Structure 1
Amino acid sequence: MTKPPRKPSKPLLGDADALLRSRPRRRRDPAQPNLPLDPMPDRIEPCLALLKAKPPKGDDWVYEIKWDGYRLAIHVEPRGIRILTRGGHDWTNCFPAIKQAALWLPVGTAILDGEAVVLDEQGRSDFGLLQQSLGGRGGKKGSSDAIFMAFDLLYFDGHDLRNSELDMRRHLLEDLVPPKEQGDIRLSEEIEADGEALLRVACAHGLEGLIAKRRDAPYSSGRLGDWVKVKCVQSDGFLIVGYEKSTASLGGIGRLLLAARKGNELVYVGGVGTGLNERSAADLREQMDKLIIGKPAVDTGRKRNAVFVRPELVAEIEYRAWTHDGKLRHAAYKGLRHTADNAAVCVLE
C-alpha cells in the first residue's frame, strides 16, 4: 500500500490576506571575526628594473618583453577609474580608451601596473608614436591609439597583493586580463626560456630588450634588483642644454646639445641631430624657446650659432656606445620625457 504524501510541517503559502514575513534576522555576535579587507592605497610607488648587461640565469627568473612607453597604474575604484603616471600625476583624461576598457574589467576594486604604448605596424612599441598620439609632450590631447600592457596586479577586490609572490599575482592578473586579449588592456605575457637566447631573438626583431623578474619575489617599490632590464640598444634620458641653429634642418634645429649628471654637476656629452621629424622638431622648438638663457649651464666648448636653454627638458636618446672622451656615439633622438613620468637622467660614474 502506498503511503500518502507527508504533509509539510508549515504551509508554503499563508492565507491570501495574511502578511508574509521572513524570520527576524539575529543580531550579529560582536565576538564573530570580520573578513579582513585591506584599505586600498591611494598610490603605490612603482617597482623599477635594475639595468644589467646580461639577463640573469636560473629557474627563479621569468622574462617579458620590455615595452617603450609611459609607466602607468590603473586604479579601479568604487567611485570610478584613475590612471596615474609613474610620478603620481592623474592622466585619466589622456587615455580615454584605456579608461573605458578598465570600466569593463570583471572586478570591483583593483590596481594594475603596466605600460601605455602605441604599436607600430610590426607590433613593436614606439615611444615617438605614443607622443604623437598624445599631441606632443605634456599630453595635450587624449590618445585613442594607446593600449595598456598589464604586467602586474597589486590590489584585487579588497586585498593588497604586494606581499604575495609574483607567480600568485600573475595568476590573478591572467584571470582578470586573459592571455591573447586584443582590447585596449592586454596582458604582457611571460616567457619561460633561456634569457640570453631570448635576448638575441628580441634584438633581431628590433625590440627594446627584456625584463627579467624573480618569480618568488613580493612587489617592492624602488630599484632593488627583483626586476632586471637588459636592453638591445642603449638608451637613457639626457638634459637638453641648448641647440645649434640650422636653416636647412627641421624646426631650425641642427643638433640638440645634451648633458648628463656627474655627482652634483652636469657634464656635456655631445649632441644629437638624428631622429627628429617635423612634428617633434616643432614641439621641441616651442618648448626650448621658453627656456632660453644667455650663458650655458654647462661647458659645451666653442659652438657656432648655439642657443642655450635652462636644463629642464629630458630627452630620451638611443645610442650605441661612448667615445673615449665621454661623448655619445651614433645617437638618435626618440622623444621628450614628461616630468610626470619621473624620467631618470643618465648618471656618469
Structure 2
Amino acid sequence: MLKPPLNPMLLYTRKKPFNSRDYIFELKWDGYRCLAYIKQGKVTLQSRNKKYFTDKFPELKDISDLIKNNNAVLDGEICWLNKEGKPDFKKLQGRLSTIKPDKKESISLIVWDLLANNNEDVYHLPLLERKKKLAEIIKKESRLLIVTPYIDTDGKKMFKFAQDNQLEGIVAKEKNSPYEFKRSRSWYKIKIWQYTDVLIVGYSRNNTALLVGELDKDKLNILGKVKLALQENEKEALFRFLPSLHTEQLVSNKDFPDIIWVKPHLKCRIRYTELTRHNTFRHGYVVRILF
C-alpha cells in the first residue's frame, strides 16, 4: 500500500465555469489540503507540503472508526465549518497556533478521493471507480468525516450554487482520470473572486509585488503585499511612474524591509478570495492600475 509522504494531485486554473459530459464538478473547500493515511486504525495526516500535522487536529484521529477497514489512504481538505456548514479559513488558521487544541471546535475532514484501500492501491483506477469505492468503505458520515458531493456535467449550475452560498469556487475533474501525484490538467479549479480598489503605498525592490493600504479617517491602514497580474506593458508603465512618488516610510518598516515606499496617490484594483484574520488579502492580485 502507498506510504507517506506523497505528493497530492494538484489542479490547474480555469477562469470560467463550463459544462461537459466528461467531467464531474465538486465544491472547492477552503481549508488545508490533507492526505490521511490509516494503517491498522492509526491515523497520520500529511499537508500538501509533505509536513505532518496530526497533533494539530487530534479529533481527526477518530476517523478510523468511521470506515470499514483499518487500512486506507484518503485525499481531502481539513476545514473549520460554521453552523451553516461553510468553511471559515480564519478560524482554521488559528488552530495551527494553538498549543492545546479544543476538540469541541468544528473541525472536519472533507474527503473526495481514495488512493488505497485495504492494502490495495487504487489510485490508477478511473476517478468514478475510486469514488464508488470510497462511498463503499464509509461506515457513516459525521461532523468529523464528510464525503464531498458532486454533480455530473453541469459545472455552471455548481458554480452558481457556490456563488449564491458565498463559497470559494468549484473543482472540475475528468471522470476517467487516474490519480496523478503532480499537477494535472485532468483537474481544474474555478475560483469565485472578490474585487476592491486600494491605495498603492509601496513596492518590492524586485518589482514583483505592491504594498497596498486604505485611509480610515486620515489614518493609513496597511493591507499587506499583493502579487501582480498585469500585462508586461502595464508593469513597465507602472514601474517607470512609481519612482516619481518615492517618499520616506509611511508606517513602521520592520514588517516590510524590502519595500520602497511611495506617496499614496495612486490606486489599483485587487482580485482576492477573502480577507484574512490579519486584514490582508488572501490570494490577492493586482489586476488594474487606476491612473
Partner of 2:151: 191
Structural mapping, 1:276-295, within 5 Å: none
RMSD, matched Cα: 3.8
Give the corresponding residue for 1:114: 76
The higher relative CO (CA closer than 8 Å, separation ≥ 6) is in 2
Residue of structure 2 equivalent to 1:230 = 190
- Say if 2:270 and 2:284, in contact at 8 Å, map to a contact too: no
Whether contact under 8 Å (2:110, 2:146) holds in the other structure is yes
Q: Does 1:328 align with 2:273?
A: no
Q: Deviations over 1:259-307 (max 9, x none)?
A: 4278xxxx9xxxxxxxxxxxxxxxxxxxxxxxxxxxxxx9895452242
Query: Deviations 1:210-253 (Å, cap 9, x if unpaired)?
Result: 11110100001222211111122259xxx9987879999xxx98
Q: Using the TM superposition, give the Cα deviation of residue 114 of structure 1 relative to its aligned residue in structure 2, in angstroms.
A: 0.3
**Unpaired runs of 5+ in structure 2?**
196-207, 230-234, 236-241, 259-265
Whether 2:64 is the aligned partner of 1:102: answer: yes
Letter in 1 for 2:173: K
Partners of 2:21 and 2:82 in 1: CA distance: 32
Question: Normalized against structure 1, the TM-score is what?
Answer: 0.61
Question: Contact (CA 8 Å) 1:240, 1:311: kept in 2 or not?
Answer: no
Q: Which residue of 1 aligns with 2:227?
A: 260
| 1:309 is the counterpart of 2:270 | no
> Can you give the 5+ residue segments of structure 1 that lack an aligned partner in the other structure?
1-38, 268-297, 313-323, 337-342
> Equivalents in 1 of 2:210, 2:185: separation in Å?
32
CA contact (8 A) 1:43 1:88 kept: yes
User: What is the count of residue pairs matched by the alignment?
Assistant: 250
Q: Residues 183, 205 of structure 1: CA spacing in aligned structure 2 closer, same or farther, 3 A cutoff?
A: closer
Residue 239 of structure 2 corresponds to: none
In structure 2, the CA distance between the partners of 1:307 and 1:147, relative to structure 1 (3 Å rule), is: same
Aligned counterparts of 2:153 and 2:257: Cα–Cα separation in 1: 42
Q: Does 1:166 align with 2:133?
A: no
Once the two structures are superposed, what CA deviation does each residue of 1:120-155 show, in whole Å capped at 9, x if it has no partner?
Answer: 2322111112223x164xx54435321000010111
How far is the alpha carbon of 1:48 from its aligned partner?
Answer: 1.3
Change (3 A) 1:331 1:149: closer
Residues 168-221 of structure 1, C-alpha deviations (whole Å, 9 max, x = no match): 110111012268x23301111122252112211220121211111101000012
* 2:10 alignment partner AA: L
For 2:2 and 2:66, locate their aligned partners in 1 and report how far apart those are by CA, in whole Å: 20
Q: Give the deviation of 1:56 after TM superposition.
A: 3.5
User: Is the 1:76–1:111 contact (alpha carbons within 8 Å) kept by the matching residues of 2?
Assistant: yes
The answer to whether the Cα contact below 8 Å between 1:165 and 1:218 also exists between their aligned partners in 2 is: yes
Q: Secondary structure at the match of 1:68?
A: coil
Deviation at 1:89, TM superposition (A): 1.0
With over 3 angstroms needed to count, the CA separation of the structure-2 counterparts of 1:330 and 1:147, relative to structure 1, is closer
Paired residues for 1:47-86 under 5 Å: 47-78=9-40, 80-86=42-48
Whichever residue aligns with residue 50 of structure 2, its letter is: G
Report the secondary structure of 1:75's partner residue: strand
Letter in 1 for 2:33: R
Distance verdict in 2 for CA 1:241–1:75, change over 3 Å: farther
Q: Among 109, 126, 138, which residue is 1:148 paired with?
A: 109
Q: Highest Rg: 1 or 2?
A: 1
Q: How far apart, in 1, do the equivalents of 2:172 and 2:184 lie?
A: 13
Q: Is the 1:242–1:308 contact (alpha carbons within 8 Å) kept by the matching residues of 2?
A: no
User: Cα 1:92–1:71, aligned 2, differ >3 Å: closer, same or farther?
Assistant: same
Query: Identity across aligned pairs (percent)?
Result: 23
Cα 1:327/1:106, change in 2 over 3 Å? same
